[in-house]
Amino acid sequence: MMNGFIYIMSNKSFADKRIKIGISKSDPTQRKDKLYSTGVPEPFVVEYYALVEEYEEIEKTVHIKLTGLRPNKQREFFICTIEKAIVSIRNCAEINYERIFYKTDEQLKIEQQELDRCKKLEKESIIREHERVRKETEAKQERERTMFEDTFDLDLDFELSEDTLLNSCPHCGKSLDKFD
């Protein structure tokens, strides 16, 4: 018995949503790079793969099951949904291992909603944190201002002449000459 991979790949350059159902002895994610050539405007995307026994026979069976959806019988391309292709592979093979990369429009919509919800929560959290810091800063400034006013409860209703400013304290009149 020969183990190998059967895969489903898509390519956004195919307007009719054509998919490729093929096989590979090795990891299909490497196979997709070989398929991207000068004849294809966009790279292929691996949507699904499964490790199966008798992979060549499984591929033939799947191709026969989907024959009505195969525009060119000489090529491995089908005009069908990825979901339908996955179901066909599962019905034809005993799966040893499978990996699904494909996401339905509904799954993508749900993921986008969750992403939007997380972004909104993060934004709200940042806004709350900024508000908290702003309030703390205002409270600190108020405490410092009050402390300053309490410490220096000075009568600031006086006139300073240049002479007074340079020679004596405006509050008590003491000479400031010793600080020169």
Q: pLDDT under 70 in the chain at which residues?
A: 38, 150-173, 176-180
Cβ neighbours of residue 22 closer than 8 Å, sequence gap 6 or more = 6, 7, 9, 31, 59, 76
Each residue's pLDDT tens digit, 75-114 = 999 999 999 999 999 999 999 999 999 887 788 788 888 8
Residue-range domain boundaries for the chain = 3-102, 103-139
Cβ neighbours of residue 51 closer than 8 Å, sequence gap 6 or more = 3, 4, 5, 95, 96, 97, 98
